[in-house]
Amino acid sequence: MSTQTAFSIDTWPSLPLEAWRETCATLQLWTQIVGKIRLVQSPWLNHSWHVTLYVTARGLTTLPIAHGTRIFQIDFDFIAHQLTIQVSDGGTGGFALEPQSVQTFYQRLMKEMDRLMLHVDINATPNEVVDPIPFDSDETHCAYDREYAARFWRILVQTERVFKQFRARFIGKCSPVHFFWGATDLAVTRFSGHPAPLHPGGIPGLPDGVTREAYSHEVSSCGFWPGGGPIPYPAFYSYAYPEPPDFPTAPIQPAAAFYSADFREFILPYEAVRQSASPDDTLLVFLQTTYEAAAMLGNWDRAALERDNDQFMQSSTA
């Protein structure tokens, strides 16, 4: 059976957390190593947008990163299961994605970077994880299941596609659709344009200054996450900061969505999307109704921030 046929069988594959929990934890740390390389080599962008990774037709990428007058990028390829490094002077490097400790992954990547004369130094302490083990001494996390890593990426592909449709409805300030390696989530964030109250901080493994800059202005944010803790399954989420009064009781669709007091977010189980008659429509209605709750209850200037995308497309092709 061809790869193309195999991928078309299950566009939204199942991803039970228990089936790949160890791989998920290891992959989170691998992406943190790569993401921190982008972080230290990039100018600071508002809301930490300079640290994220992006979905590609084969996996995840840093996009081009400057190193002096040269540029390079690092890609996770979840089809060939390779980590690749490409440099603007024609240099290439990388190694296989396979079961290996975080320590081994870190050492192999830094060795390849040095070989390509791309030396970087990063903070080797993981972020946003419980009881972090420095990358250069972590032999605990070492799992890599090809099938589940590829399933995760395939879900990111579909999620990014729908998130971009949702993003196009908004003409105010909005983030790219990007992958945050701290918590392993794909997210997109809309801004009202108004300053927000000082965030209390307190996110484990994340400096309060970073959190407060990220939430310097009012937001409605949504994303996809593989799950953990009180939500032990993959899920879509949507939240507002600051959270307006009555936000937790707002009428949200579809019926499977609910408000999590633990996370202060609306949650839509991934399986409810995957098993629906139209996953795209099910996800879009969740994104739209949760955003509307945040915007209406937060008194956003919706007339100035939104557009009728159908009308825009008709006028632009007239």
Per-residue pLDDT of the chain (318 residues; tens, 9 = 90+): 334 434 445 899 999 999 999 999 999 999 999 999 999 999 999 999 999 999 999 999 999 999 999 999 999 999 999 999 999 999 999 999 999 999 999 999 999 999 999 999 999 999 999 999 999 999 999 999 999 999 999 999 999 999 999 999 999 999 999 999 999 999 999 999 999 999 999 988 899 999 999 999 999 999 999 999 999 999 999 999 999 999 999 999 999 999 999 999 999 999 999 999 999 999 999 999 999 999 999 999 999 999 875 554 455 455
117 lies in the same domain as 163: no
Residue 260 lies in a domain: yes
Angstrom CA distances, 304 to 175, 192, 312, stand at: 17, 10, 15
Separation CA 163–CA 228 (nearest Å): 22
Could you list the residue range(s) of the whole structural domain that residue 29 is in?
17-137
Residues 193 and 107 in one domain: no
pTM attached to this predicted model? 0.94
Residues 39, 152, single domain; the answer is no
- State both tokens at 31: 């992406």
Whether residue 152 sits in one domain with residue 121 = no
130 and 174 assigned to the same domain: no
Q: Is residue 9 part of a domain?
A: no
Same-domain status, 39 and 56: yes
Kindly state whether residues 263 and 160 are assigned to the same domain.
yes
* 152 and 301 belong to one structural domain: yes
Judge if 159 and 274 occupy the same domain: yes
Asked if residue 114 and residue 68 are part of one domain, the reply reads yes
Tally the domains of the chain: 2
Task: Tell whether 76 and 47 lie within a shared domain.
Answer: yes
Residue 208 inside a domain? The answer is yes
Element (H, E) at 155: helix 146-167
**H helical segments located in 168-278:** 208-214, 270-274
Choosing from 98, 118, 137, the residue where a domain stops is 137
Residue 230 lies in a domain: yes
Residue ending a domain, choose from 137, 161, 178: 137
Of 84, 102, 137, the domain-final residue: 137
Contact criterion met (CB below 8 Å) for 70 and 61: no
Same domain, 210 and 274: yes
